[in-house]
Amino acid sequence: MRLNNNAMGVALVGAIASLPRVAAWGVAGHEIVATIAQIHLHPSTVEQLCAILPPYANCHLAPVAAWADKVRFHMPWSGPLHYVGGVGDHPSDHCDFGDDGWQGTPGHNVLGAVRNTTMWLEKGYEGAEEALKFLVHFIGDLHQPLHLTGRDRGGNSVKVRFDRRITNLHSVWDSRLIAKSLRTIPQNYTYPLPSRQIESALRGTIYDPYVRQIMYEGVLGRFRDAIDEWTVCPLPELSTRPYPLTEKLEQLPVRGGFFDAVRSSLSSWMRPRKPVEEAPPTDDEIICPHAWAAPMHQLNCDIIWPAELDDPNYQAQIATQGYLELDTPKYAGRIKDEWLVEELLAMGGIRLAATLNYLFAREETAVSPLYKLY
């Protein structure tokens, strides 16, 4: 049974109106995040998701990843759930992620949306399909840093140029950086990788080669040593409590492959976590959207929001030189060299998979947040 729109609005955030905003990552970006998550889902999680997803999804997350953007105009209460803005936040000169509170109605933002949709699914309430589709999308939104600042509507109101075309800063990050990457993927990634786990998550899309590249060069390469930290949440107070399902490990037979990988990764989940004085209301030791988002928000000051836009002479320069060009070695080139977009997409996918595995994998098998292939 699908959740009534009004009930979903009240239960998750309350029915409130919003102005339209451009979608985070665009359709391709959201589907890439969902595809990377699909690769890391435990088989028992996939089995559970098949019973929730609509038939057209064919047991895949990607076909529903952009649904929340498609419905926001007739579900206006959902608009503010796609982003969050700290009071006083003003990149590039000052990044403040909620130290002085949040703009808008308390809890009606992407941090609260991730928390509440997760709770909805964990409690098994009616309307799981809509809650799941929202969660897949909101975790994608959480990993687009311009959805973590309220300045100038997340950059939607800031005109720039990219590839000599007038656009806005938000759109550069929604789609134009990804589109440029799609045009420069090495040809060898147009062919299947020798991994059934990766290839079974692909669906013959234009971005399949990009997913292969992110997986092979990123997840299995430069990001590999950081992945365990991506899914760790700081705990309130001094606690050494492990991941809730790890205590069942010794009761399980060793079957090789997945279980060997689990055993080798358990140390990162069993170690004491970094204590914090008080966790934000959205965070706990398993799901912590605030803790995950805070370092990404800082990227707005470090690289994403060009300081040139705040130059006192910039408005005068527009008349003679045009809007700031971002398809340059200094801006787009640095982002490409640092693999920043690919890291954010991979991080979003892996955190989405860890969340879904926590929610849906059978306890007798789900002893790790990820079904690993590395």
Catalytic residues: 25, 30, 69, 72, 82, 137, 141, 147, 170, 174
Ordered alpha helix ranges (H), the chain: 5-12, 26-39, 43-50, 67-70, 110-123, 128-142, 152-155, 169-171, 177-182, 196-199, 208-213, 227-230, 258-270, 289-299, 314-321, 334-337, 340-360
Q: What is the residue type of 64?
A: V
Q: What is the residue type of 306?
A: P
Q: Are 223 and 36 in contact (CB under 8 A)?
A: no
Q: Are 147 and 141 in contact (CB under 8 A)?
A: yes
Euclidean distance between the first and final Cα of the chain, in Å?
38
For residue 268, say if its preceding peptide bond is cis, omega within 30 degrees of 0: no
Rounded CA separation 139/111 (Å): 9
Nearest residue to 287 (alpha-carbon basis) of 111, 106, 102: 111
Q: What is the dihedral of CA 350, 355, 356, 357, to 10 degrees?
A: 80
Q: Is 98 helix (H, G, I), strand (E, B) or coil?
A: coil
Rounded CA separation 346/323 (Å): 31
Q: What is the dihedral of CA 237, 243, 247, 248, to 10 degrees?
A: 160
